[in-house]
A and B are shown apart, each in its own frame.
Chain A
Amino acid sequence: MFDWFFDAAAGFSDAVYVSVIKEDRYTYLLDGLWVSLQLTFFAALIGVAIGLLVAVAKLQNLDSPSKNRVTGVIRKWLVGLANGYVSIIRGTPAVVQLLVIYFIIFGRLLQPVFPNVPDLAIAAIAFGINSGAYVAEIIRAGIMAVDKGQTEAGRSLGLSGAKTMIFIIIPQAIKNVLPALVNELIVLFKETSVAGYIGMMDLTKGATTIGSVAYDYMIPLLCAAYIYFLVTTVMTAGMNKLERRMRRGD
């Protein structure tokens, strides 16, 4: 009566054996996860650094008078550059950016200067540049949400414009946008799944590689999906905890 069930179960366990256990194939998944995590970590660092700078650049108020003409021109250029960067990155797919940075920027243009850049570094830079545009918009929104009175208070206490921004506005802005930043981290982690396009063995590529040697994609793909889900769940849980802790400070 339940034969079909046991047959299916036996077939499933065979498939698990072939895809995960035979010839230590699970190492493709574990090594792949490690690559994906490293990639996400370094890309996030680069992304936040770029995002902060770009957010501040985009918030320059060009109507307010500059001290002299030169700084005025520089400020104008910075705003233009930041706007251009954000629109280009947001307007093109991450895979295309990755391929351009790998094959054209590092492959052709920078080859004479930096001949042996590891794939991981190139990919981290590519994903970092990609993430930076989104982080910039998040932080910009956060800074704008901080009450104007905070800037006025800082300035009237004798702090310079830059110091007010760094010590008073940005800390409050970061606190406001932390959930959005963790969300961006989750997006970034999932985005790294396209690293296989430049030949990197990340979690997704590890899964498809198992598929190509075991000639069965079902189990490896489901495993990869489960691992991605597990990691993003941990990230979300961490964020919730952090948020609760932050709220105690209010």
Chain B
Amino acid sequence: MKKYAKLLAAMMAVLMLMFCFAACGSEPTEAPSTDDNEAPAVDTSALNLQNDGVLVMGTNAEFPPFEYEEGGAVVGLDAEMMEEVAKRLGVEIEIKNMAFDSLPEALTAKEIDCIAAGLTVRPDREEVMSFTDGYYVASQSIIVKKDSAIATADDLTDKKIGCQSGTTGSFLAEEYTDVANISGFANGALAVEALVNGQVDAVIIDNNPANEYGAQYADQVVVIEGQFEDETYAVAVAKDNTALCDAINDAIEAMKADGTFDTIVAKYIK
């Protein structure tokens, strides 16, 4: 019995240690730079942040190359862009990783200050949130299996379509097939997995992730591009939080002017 007690104590010690590390890991990812002479560009109290001095960004880190998990942190174009924005605003950034279709609700409920998640500007979304200027032009692509008869968007009629729930792809799918034929998954990778398994006929998803998945399953799938209209990604803030919206716009504008923005884009998109 004594032997087991010792073992138990050791296991609990290890567990507690793990909790310690986990607690350390959840601190804001980027501290504001205090050593260089970059003064905060604006008065942070005017930004209407939930916690003054911390910009809480909501995203869904299952959308490469814009946001994905690497080494326990959220990285990608959006993540790095917003980290730079926060730095220029003189605030810390905290990234909350959640389901894509919960992001608008989280913004309305003021659990996050902004969404940077490859989020497309759409009129229905503009009714409940405010968008910054667009920072990236994307379009939807179709992924099909190599031997598929689907070659254009018209061929999608009445097919079984996979997508990520709540994305532009899921809205597009409804134009081609019955709701019962649409499989909405938590992320694009699962939809592609279902495609490879033959459980859906096609996947509609934004072109950059589509190309990532296409490269991953290069011997099994093909990506069909240029079938749908271009769309614009922008950062979303709570409706009518114009102060934050303008501040992010200014920061991204400055990043574009000094080349930082292009460097970040080039890092993630080849």
Contacts and interface: CB of A to CB of B under 8 A. Distances in A.
A171 B105 CA distance: 51
Sort chain B's interface into a size bin.
Answer: 20 to 34
Contact of A111 (B182, B186, B197): B197
Interface in A200-250: 200-201, 205, 208-209, 211-213, 215-217
Contacts of B199: 102, 106-107, 119
Interface string B197-218: 1111000000000000000000
B184 A103 contact: no
B184 A209 contact: yes
Contacts of A205: 165, 184
Given A215-B127, A217-B105, A201 B179 contact: yes
Pick the most buried of A106, A119, A215, A217: most chain B CB atoms within 10 A of its CB.
A215
A211 B197 contact: no
A45 B73 CA distance: 45
A125 to B, nearest CB: 14
Contacts of B104: 212, 215
Given A28-B179, A199-B162, A211-B105, A115 B184 contact: no
B231 interface: no
Nearest to A32: B179
Sort chain A's interface into a size bin.
Answer: 20 to 34
Contacts of B193: 103, 107
B138 interface: no
Interface string B168-192: 0011000000011011111000110
A198 B183 contact: yes
A217 B163 CA distance: 20
Nearest to B171: A213
Given A208-B165, A215-B127, A217-B105, A103 B194 contact: yes
Nearest to A99: B190
Nearest to B101: A212
A12 interface: no
Contacts of A201: 179-180, 182, 184
Grouping DSSP codes into helix (H, G, I), strand (E, B) and loop, the A interface class, with mixed when no group exceeds half, is: helix
A115 B198 contact: yes
A175 interface: no
Contacts of B166: 209, 212
B154 interface: no
B59 to A, nearest CB: 16
B183 A200 contact: yes
A196 interface: yes
B101 A208 contact: yes
B162 to A, nearest CB: 7
Pick the most buried of A102, A119, A199, A208: most chain B CB atoms within 10 A of its CB.
A199
A108 B198 CA distance: 9
A197 interface: yes
B124 A215 contact: yes
A233 to B, nearest CB: 27
B54 interface: no
Nearest to A122: B199
A31 B186 contact: no
Nearest to A112: B198
Given A107-B193, A111-B198, A212-B166, A31 B124 contact: no
B182 A215 contact: no
Interface of A: 28, 31, 102-103, 106-108, 111, 115-116, 119, 196-201, 205, 208-209, 211-213, 215-217
28 contacts: A28-B179, A106-B197, A106-B199, A107-B194, A107-B199, A115-B198, A119-B183, A196-B184, A197-B185, A197-B186, A198-B183, A198-B194, A199-B162, A199-B185, A199-B191, A201-B179, A208-B165, A209-B101, A209-B165, A209-B166, A209-B184, A212-B104, A212-B165, A213-B124, A215-B105, A215-B127, A216-B108, A216-B128
Given A205-B165, A215-B128, 9 more contacts: A106-B197, A196-B184, A198-B185, A198-B194, A199-B194, A201-B182, A209-B101, A211-B105, A215-B105
The 9 closest A-B pairs by CB, nearest first: A199-B183, A107-B197, A212-B166, A212-B101, A215-B128, A215-B104, A217-B105, A199-B185, A115-B198
Interface of B: 101-102, 104-105, 108, 124-125, 127-129, 162, 165-166, 170-171, 179-180, 182-186, 190-191, 193-194, 197-200
